[in-house]
């Protein structure tokens, strides 16, 4: 069987990390595209030269010709600009709106059958724009945010409970931003929900509230520390988990930004909800019951995304 082909649009910090992880996991061959073709080609060559040392077979190339992505099974989009200190993800809207149009055209022309994962921020509106402009089916165009947000939540919960990250599950919904909705009721340590762990005296509500707040601002915390650019290791790992579930038909249940068509009472925009990712792309959208507070938080998050979509439309790009 021929190797799978994975195209990376954007060969910056996340793009380079994606290529490295894809190689280490032997998910397939990699084509990197960037407006700076030399950067894409240089990173591809550098990572490929690590393959004899690490023992993986993956052919990697890079450049600035969209024709090279032809026939890709998966396309992961990071093209655009990252945040700098003091910027919110939403501040990137104008800068990255034009980029999405070019990327959508490239994918439509050369890889219309691919499963497309968008990472560029502001995520929920950028993935919507990518789907609308490329015309690809909505079940094949998804946004990476929830896997990252829940990974952050899991990291902090594991630290709090002093247990392995492997035994912590977390449930995060809504838009990728300050309004994201971490559902503690569905977040567990080895199946025991967080509210029960509070009752058991393992932690306190105040400490969980602080963790929820840190999770919602997890990206900003890193932007502030890095001083130039934004997080890239965990975002790349999260997108690779989504790509792997598609390529291997694993049918993992992952929180992803997807187009809602009536689910959760919402229509025609992208927001983060749990979905099953398999060979058919988004195979199922999982609808959970909300409490009144959870519904209010989810609606608020959806309103923030809808506002960004209308701001995007007003740009007329």
Which range touches ligand APR (CB under 6 A), out of 8-16, 172-180, 250-258, 282-290? 8-16
Quote the Cα angle for 42-45-49, to 5°: 140
Which range touches ligand APR (CB under 6 A), out of 29-37, 135-143, 281-289, 291-299? 29-37
Q: How far apart are CA 261 and CA 121, in angstroms?
A: 22
Give the residue, chosen from 50, 102, 169, 179, that forms a contact with ligand APR under the rule CB under 6 A.
102
- Assign 276 to helix, strand or coil: strand
Compare residues 31 and 99 and give the one whose CB is closer to ligand APR. 99
- 219-248: contacts with ligand APR (CB under 6 A): 229-230, 232, 235
Cα 300 from chain centre: 21
Per CB under 6 A, 42 contacts ligand APR = no
Closest-CA residue to 82 (of 119, 118, 124, 107): 119
Residue written as tokens 């994201």? 180
Q: Is 176 a catalytic residue?
A: yes
Per CB under 6 A, 14 contacts ligand APR = yes
Per CB under 6 A, 301 contacts ligand APR = no
Asked if the bond preceding 227 is cis, omega within 30° of 0, the reply is no
Per CB under 6 A, 99 contacts ligand APR = yes
Compare residues 29 and 34 and give the one whose CB is closer to ligand APR. 34
Per CB under 6 A, 111 contacts ligand APR = no
Q: Least CB distance from residue 120 to ligand APR, whole Å?
A: 4
Which range touches ligand APR (CB under 6 A), out of 113-121, 153-161, 237-245, 292-300? 113-121
**Bridge partner residues of 189 (DSSP):** 168, 192
Give the residue, chosen from 22, 119, 141, 304, that forms a contact with ligand APR under the rule CB under 6 A.
119
Give the residue, chosen from 58, 78, 155, 245, that forms a contact with ligand APR under the rule CB under 6 A.
78
The sign of the dihedral angle between the CA atoms of 233, 22, 180, 190 is negative
**Bridge partner residues of 141 (DSSP):** 116
Catalytic residue, from 20, 59, 110, 176: name it.
176
Per CB under 6 A, 143 contacts ligand APR = no
Closest-CA residue to 62 (of 81, 39, 28): 39
Per CB under 6 A, 11 contacts ligand APR = yes
The sign of the dihedral angle between the CA atoms of 179, 183, 187, 193 is positive
Q: Least CB distance from residue 102 to ligand APR, whole Å?
A: 5
Quote the Cα angle for 288-234-209, to 5°: 50
Residue nearest to ligand APR (CB): 12
Helix, strand and coil percent figures for the chain, each rounded to 5: 50, 20, 30
Per CB under 6 A, 80 contacts ligand APR = yes
Q: Is 79 annotated as a binding residue?
A: no
Give the residue, chosen from 63, 82, 182, 218, that forms a contact with ligand APR under the rule CB under 6 A.
82
Quote the Cα angle for 218-242-301, to 5°: 45
Residue 287 CA: distances (Å) to CA of 167, 252, 256: 24, 15, 13
- Footprint on this chain of ligand APR (rule: CB under 6 A): 9-15, 34-36, 39, 78-83, 92, 96, 99, 102-103, 119-121, 229-230, 232, 235
Catalytic residues, which ones?
A: 176
């Amino acid at each position: 069987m021929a190797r799978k082909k994975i195209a990376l649009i954007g060969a910056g910090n996340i793009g380079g990390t994606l290529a490295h992880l894809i190689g280490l996991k032997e998910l397939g061959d990699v084509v990197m595209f960037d407006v700076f073709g030399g950067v894409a080609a240089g990173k591809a060559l550098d990572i490929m030269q690590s393959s004899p040392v690490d023992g993986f077979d993956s052919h990697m190339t890079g450049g600035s010709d969209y024709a090279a992505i032809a026939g890709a099974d998966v396309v992961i989009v990071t093209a655009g600009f990252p945040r700098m200190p003091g910027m919110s993800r939403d501040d990137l809207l104008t800068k990255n709106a034009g980029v999405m149009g070019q990327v959508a055209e490239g994918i439509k022309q050369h890889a219309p059958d691919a499963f497309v994962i968008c990472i560029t921020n502001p995520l929920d509106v950028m993935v919507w724009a990518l789907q609308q402009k490329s015309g690809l089916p909505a079940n094949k165009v998804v946004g990476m945010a929830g896997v990252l947000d829940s990974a952050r939540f899991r990291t902090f919960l594991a630290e709090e409970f002093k247990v392995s990250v492997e035994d912590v599950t977390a449930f995060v919904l809504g838009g990728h931003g300050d309004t994201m909705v971490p559902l503690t009721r569905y977040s567990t340590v080895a199946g025991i929900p967080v509210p029960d762990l509070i009752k058991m005296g393992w932690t306190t509500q105040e400490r969980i509230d602080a963790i929820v707040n840190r999770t919602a601002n997890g990206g900003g915390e890193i932007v502030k520390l890095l001083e130039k650019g934004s997080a890239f290791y965990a975002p790349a790992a999260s997108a690779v988990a989504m790509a792997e579930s598609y390529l291997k038909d694993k049918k993992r249940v992952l929180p992803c930004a997807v187009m809602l068509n009536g689910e959760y009472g919402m229509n025609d925009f992208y927001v983060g909800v749990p979905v099953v990712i398999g060979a058919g792309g988004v195979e199922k959208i999982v609808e959970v019951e909300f409490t009144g507070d959870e519904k209010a938080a989810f609606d608020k998050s959806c309103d923030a995304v809808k506002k960004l979509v209308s701001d995007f439309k007003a740009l007329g790009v």
